[in-house]
Amino acid sequence: MSGGRISRQKGRHPWDIIGSMIELRRATRVYGAARAVTALDGVDLTIPAGAMLAVMGPSGSGKSTLLNLLAGLDRPTSGQVLLDGVDLAALDEEARTRVRRDRIGIVFQFFNLLPSLSAAENVGLPLLLAGVPRARAESRARETLARVGLALRDDHLPDALSGGEKQRVAIARAVVTAPSLLLADEPTGNLDSATGEEILAVIRKIHVETGTTVVVVTHDDRIAAHCDGVIRLRDGRVEAAPVVAAASRR
């Protein structure tokens, strides 16, 4: 099924993609059957390429559900999730996995690092899975750890790192493949507020340096203030979203 393949063209950078990179059309996600919960309720949304947006809303308003749909980790019950015009939900599992691997980086609240691998090995893993030779994967992992400010902790196991350091490793792992979309679900939710701001600054730096589109779920107004706009959810609906002009950052 090569027709569904999305791959970045050689020589193109993510920020060359003009127009609305991600669109949700009437996206609905219902959990369960007997006592069904409508976590997202007919959401229409456009996220322009090159933007850095926050998603805010009360607990249970559908933020993680939205992020999981954008990540291709989950599919809408009805409606569409379009990535550069391709419906993520219509791809088979294998093609969706490939899009996730090649195009999307994800950061979670609780880091999700593999405890038996060093920082550098955790970061290099997505490259190994994508078929990059070991030596190249390792050097790129170390370069990426340096970019997030962790060069001297390369060989530490996650347990030997602070929360903020673990999250830097997780960010490095998410961006080592140069994804065009970086998603983060409450990446500062498990950190004190000063460390949380540092982590957001790292995400912002990656965004500015690479042009990667960023969507970050947060409860923190100060963190949202570092973003270009805020998508506000309530009861599975979009209460407010930035007005989108066709985006190009440069």
Residues near Mg ion (CB under 5 A) are 63-64
43 near 239, Cβ under 8 Å? no
Site membership for ligand ADP, residue 110 (CB under 6 A)? no
Question: Does the footprint of ligand ADP cover residue 57 (CB under 6 A)?
Answer: yes
3 vs 32 by CB, closer to ligand ADP: 32
The nearer residue to ligand ADP, 31 or 110, going by C-beta atoms, is 31
Q: How far is the CB of 228 from ligand ADP (least distance, A)?
A: 21
Among ligand ADP, Mg ion, none, partner that 212 touches (CB below 5 to 8 angstroms by kind): none
Partner from Mg ion, ligand ADP, none contacting 207, C-beta within 5 to 8 A by type: none
- Which stretch in 52-60, 135-143, 153-161, 172-180 sits in contact with ligand ADP by CB under 6 A? 52-60
Question: Is residue 61 involved in binding ligand ADP (CB under 6 A)?
Answer: yes
The contact set with ligand ADP (CB under 6 A) reads 31-32, 37, 39, 57, 59-65
